Amino acid sequence: MHKQSAIAVDFVVFNSEGHLLLIQRKNQPFQGKYALPGGFVEYGETIEAAARRELREETGLKVGQMHLVGVYSNPKRDPRGHTISIAYVAVVSRGRRVRGGDDAATAAFMPTWRKLRLAFDHNAIVRDAVRLIAAA
């Protein structure tokens, strides 16, 4: 039997105050842990469309311009199996409302995000996004 890797997207969103948008996971793995909004790419969907859809489904947020952060392919990054994630970053204006939906129990812009241990490899993705923003 041939095993196939899964393709996912993750979205790093900061507001103009430097707060990071995080969800609290509703389901396993990492149920109850903070994570970036994201999820699996559906068949026939572009990566960019999947990123926007997952962000909207899990937080209610729509963003304009987004930038590629990177591709994360460590086979052990997701306990469910080999999942390759393509991550994006966006910065939005202050005061944007968000709400938890779909796989997210809650969603909020977190001022204390630097102190949190996020699910999966999301701390590394955020670190790379911060470097990308600083270099721009």
Question: Could you give phi then psi for residue 36, rounded to 5 degrees?
Answer: -75, 150
Q: What is the CATH number of domain 6-135?
A: 3.90.79.10
Q: Where are the domains of the chain?
A: 6-135
Alpha helix segments (H runs only) across 32-104: 47-59
Residue 1 binned pLDDT confidence (cut-offs 50, 70, 90): low
- Reference 21, options 115, 129, 109, 120; nearest CA is 109
Give Dmax over CA atoms of the chain in angstroms: 50
Q: Could you report the per-residue pLDDT of 101-134, keeping only the tens digit for each?
A: 878 899 999 999 999 999 999 999 999 999 999 9
Does the pLDDT at position 86 exceed 80? Answer: yes
3-state secondary structure of 41: coil
Whether a cis peptide bond, with omega within 30° of 0, leads into 37 is no
pTM of the model: 0.94
Residue 11 binned pLDDT confidence (cut-offs 50, 70, 90): very high
Q: Could you report the per-residue pLDDT of 33-57, keeping only the tens digit for each?
A: 999 999 999 999 999 999 999 999 9
